[in-house]
Structure 1
Amino acid sequence: MKKIALIPARYGASRFPGKMMAKLGDKTVILRTYESTVNTGVFDEVMVVTDSDIIFREIVDNGGKAVMSKKEHECGTDRIAEAMELLDYDIVVNVQGDEPFTQKEPLEKLLRVFEGEEGKKVQVASLMQVLTEQQSIEDPNYVKVAVDKNFNALFFSRSVIPYPRAKDVKTIYYEHIGIYAFRKDTLMNFTKLEPTPLELAEKIECLRYLENGIPMKMVVTEYMGVEIDTPEDLEKAAKLL
Structure 2
Amino acid sequence: MKILGVIPARYASTRFPGKPLIEIGGKSMIRRVYEQANLAKSLTHVIVATDDQRIADEVESFGGEYVMTNSAHESGTDRCAEVAKIVEGYDVIINIQGDEPFINPLQIDLLANLFKEDTEIATLIKPIQEQDELVNPNLPKVVISKQGKALYFSRTPIPYLRGVDIHNWNAKHQYFRHIGIYGYRKNILLQLTNLPISLLEKSEQLEQLRWLENGFNIQTAITEFETIAVDVPEDLDKIKAWYL
Please, what TM-score do these two structures have when normalized by structure 1?
0.92
Number of the residue aligned with 1:91: 92
The answer to whether the aligner puts 1:134 opposite 2:131 as a matched pair is yes
> How far apart are 1:57 and its partner, in Å?
1.2
> How far apart are 1:216 and its partner, in Å?
0.3
SS at match of 1:5: strand
User: Percent same amino acid at aligned positions?
Assistant: 40
Deviation per CA, 1:143-164: give whole Å up to 9, x if none: 2111111111111122222234
Number of the residue aligned with 2:229: 227
What amino acid sits opposite 2:32 in the alignment? R
Alpha-carbon RMSD = 1.7
SS at match of 1:140: coil
What amino acid sits opposite 2:38 in the alignment? V
Q: Aligned partners of 1:205, 1:235: CA distance in 2, in Å? A: 29
Alignment length, in residue pairs?
237
| Stretch moving more, 123-132 or 18-27 | 18-27
Assess if the C-alpha contact under 8 Å between 2:40 and 2:109 holds in 1.
no
Number of the residue aligned with 2:188: 186
> How far apart are 1:188 and its partner, in Å?
0.8
Number of the residue aligned with 2:205: 203
Assess if the C-alpha contact under 8 Å between 1:128 and 1:175 holds in 2.
yes
Mapping for residues 157-172 of structure 1, pairs under 5 Å = 157-167=154-164, 170-172=172-174
> How far apart are 1:4 and its partner, in Å?
0.7
SS at match of 1:20: helix
> How far apart are 1:109 and its partner, in Å?
1.9
Q: Aligned partners of 2:216, 2:236: CA distance in 1, in Å? A: 34
Deviation per CA, 1:181-236: give whole Å up to 9, x if none: 11110011111111112223322111111110111001101121112223333221
Structure 1: gaps (5+ residues): none
SS at match of 2:38: helix
Assess if the C-alpha contact under 8 Å between 1:141 and 1:229 holds in 2.
no
Distance 1:127 1:159, change over 3 A: same
| Stretch moving more, 101-110 or 64-73 | 101-110
What amino acid sits opposite 1:134 in the alignment? Q
Number of the residue aligned with 2:56: 56
Number of the residue aligned with 2:80: 80
| Stretch moving more, 158-167 or 94-103 | 158-167
The answer to whether the aligner puts 1:237 opposite 2:225 as a matched pair is no
Please, which of 149, 153, 167 is the counterpart of residue 156 of structure 1? 153
Assess if the C-alpha contact under 8 Å between 1:144 and 1:161 holds in 2.
yes
Deviation per CA, 1:63-90: give whole Å up to 9, x if none: 1111110351111100110111122201
Number of the residue aligned with 2:32: 32
Number of the residue aligned with 1:113: 114
SS at match of 2:200: helix
Distance 1:183 1:216, change over 3 A: same
Q: Aligned partners of 1:16, 1:171: CA distance in 2, in Å? A: 36
Q: Aligned partners of 1:197, 1:151: CA distance in 2, in Å? A: 24
Q: Aligned partners of 1:39, 1:112: CA distance in 2, in Å? A: 15
What amino acid sits opposite 1:42 in the alignment? S
Q: Aligned partners of 2:112, 2:39: CA distance in 1, in Å? A: 16
What amino acid sits opposite 1:24 in the alignment? I
Q: Aligned partners of 2:22, 2:203: CA distance in 1, in Å? A: 28
Structure 2: gaps (5+ residues): none
> How far apart are 1:96 and its partner, in Å?
0.9
